[in-house]
Structures are given as structure tokens and as C-alpha cells.
């Protein structure tokens, strides 16, 4: 058994199904690694397949289990469940970060913990499961690792797009206009942004981010959590 096969054996055990070793290795091969190793097959085609399966399984499930939601509300729930944030959490539960095959650049910049890479890896592994074992096994993987995010659909809808959601919440509760005050510090190549979100005249929350949008989004998410808490 080669070193790759040995390193991903615990992943196969966590998946609980006999995934084809070659397909699973491909699912874990980031394009940066493939480029550095002579164009070996990478995960992108499997990501495409897994994304389609994930979308179908989640859509069918929420259609059946959330009968009172409109098409627009169902779309929000679906988007939050299949979001980068949610899928990166599922990927961490599977331990995908430890077994990704990454190029040197991605390795040096913390690729094993990047939500975007983890999300893509989860979808690619799902594609590998589908091709190896069939649709029922792929469905079971989604049910096990993704459906738990549906335990609080209201929270999912809010946090899938916190900047829009807090606008809607402020309007619904007549809290006043939402605005942000953003400052930054540090050199251009390593700038940190600090955002304060005001709802009406109240400074509701503040947060930092590597970009202006990231700082505002993080502040909006904190403010949403506070505004949704029940008041005594």
C-alpha cells in the first residue's frame, strides 16, 4: 500500500462505504498539486458532479420537510445549507483538510484550513462516493454531514447573507437604517479593516476582516445574533 492509500484509509472508514481509492485520491487532489505533478487528474470534475448531487438531495429534502416556506424562502435555506461556510464545517468533520493534496503555494498559505478548498473537497468526495457506490450512499453522506445544518432553518436563512438579512430585520422591526463605519490600518499588502455596524443610532456590533466586505459581513452577523435573541 502506498503512502497516499495509507493516509486516506481513516477517511474511508469515516465515510463508511468502500470508495474507489483512485477516485477518492483524485477528489483530494487540488489543481495546484496536479499542476506541480505533471497534470495528474485533479478534483474539479468530481466537484462539478458532487455539487449537482448535493443540490438535488438538499432541494428535495427541504421541499418535503419545509412545506410552509415559499420558493424564495426555500432558495435561501438551500443556499445556506450548500454554502462554503456550511460545507467547510462538514469537511472538517470528515477531516478532509489533513488529507488534501496541495501545491507548495497553497500549503504555505494555509490551504488546509481555507473554507473554499474544504468546500470544494467535500463536493468532490461526494462525487467520488456517487461513482463508487451509487446514489443511495451519496444521499446518506449528505444526510449525515449536511442535513444537521437544517436544525435551525431560520438561522440558516439569516446567516447565509447577513448584510441583506439585517436590512430586512431592521425594516421589519422598525429599528432604523443600517449603516457601516469602516476604518483600516496596516500596509497595502497586509491591511486589516475594522467595521462598526449601526442599526438606527445604535452601534450594534464591530468586527475585523481582511477586506472591507469581510469586516462588514462579520459585523452584520454578530449584530444579527444579538438582535435575534429573545428580549425579557
pLDDT tens-place string over residues 86-120:
888 889 888 888 899 999 888 888 888 888 899 99
Q: Which one of the listed residues 47, 51, 161, 216 is annotated catalytic?
A: 51
List the Cα angle 98/104/105 in 5-degree steps.
Answer: 105
Give the per-residue pLDDT at 50.
97
CATH code of domain 162-227 = 3.30.160.20
CA dihedral 57, 58, 61, 64 (to 10 degrees): -120
d(CA 50, CA 123): 4
CATH code of domain 3-150 = 1.10.1520.10
pLDDT digits (tens, 9 = 90+) for 47-92: 999 999 999 999 999 999 999 989 988 998 898 889 888 888 889 8
By the 10 Å C-beta count (0-12 exposed, 13-18 middle, 19+ buried), 180 is classed as middle
pTM tops 0.85:
no
CA dihedral 144, 147, 149, 154 (to 10 degrees): -160
pLDDT digits (tens, 9 = 90+) for 173-200: 999 999 999 999 988 877 889 999 999 9
Domain boundaries, the chain: 3-150, 162-227
Q: Which one of the listed residues 47, 106, 120, 123 is annotated catalytic?
A: 123
Residues near 231 by Cβ (< 8 Å), separated by ≥ 6?
A: none
Output the CA–CA distances (angstroms, integers) from residue 26 to 7, 30, 151, 213, in the order listed. 14, 8, 32, 34
Give yes or no: 51 in active site. yes
d(CA 194, CA 202): 17
Output the CA–CA distances (angstroms, integers) from residue 114 to 14, 21, 53, in the order listed. 21, 24, 23
Amino acid at each position: 500500500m502506498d503512502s497516499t492509500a495509507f493516509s486516506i484509509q481513516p477517511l474511508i472508514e469515516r465515510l463508511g462505504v468502500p470508495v474507489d481509492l483512485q477516485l477518492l485520491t483524485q477528489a483530494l487532489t487540488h489543481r495546484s498539486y496536479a499542476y506541480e505533478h505533471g497534470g495528474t487528474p485533479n478534483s474539479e470534475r468530481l466537484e462539478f458532479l458532487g455539487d449537482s448531487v448535493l443540490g438535488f438531495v438538499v432541494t428535495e429534502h427541504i421541499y418535503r420537510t419545509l412545506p410552509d416556506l415559499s420558493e424564495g424562502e426555500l432558495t435561501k435555506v438551500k443556499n445556506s445549507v450548500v454554502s462554503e461556510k456550511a460545507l467547510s464545517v462538514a469537511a472538517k468533520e470528515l477531516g478532509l483538510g489533513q488529507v488534501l493534496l496541495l501545491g507548495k503555494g497553497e500549503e504555505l498559505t494555509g490551504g488546509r484550513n481555507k473554507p473554499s478548498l474544504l468546500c470544494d473537497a467535500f463536493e468532490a468526495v461526494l462525487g467520488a462516493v456517487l461513482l463508487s457506490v451509487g446514489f443511495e450512499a451519496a444521499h446518506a453522506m449528505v444526510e449525515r454531514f449536511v442535513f444537521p445544518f437544517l436544525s435551525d432553518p431560520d438561522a440558516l436563512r439569516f446567516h447565509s447573507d447577513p448584510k441583506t438579512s439585517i436590512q430586512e430585520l431592521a425594516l421589519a422591526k422598525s429599528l432604523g437604517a443600517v449603516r457601516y463605519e469602516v476604518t483600516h490600518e496596516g500596509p497595502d499588502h497586509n491591511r486589516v479593516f475594522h467595521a462598526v455596524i449601526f442599526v438606527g443610532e445604535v452601534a450594534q456590533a464591530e468586527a475585523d476582516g481582511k477586506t472591507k466586505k469581510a469586516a462588514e459581513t462579520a459585523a452584520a452577523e454578530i449584530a444579527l445574533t444579538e438582535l435575534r435573541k429573545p428580549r425579557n
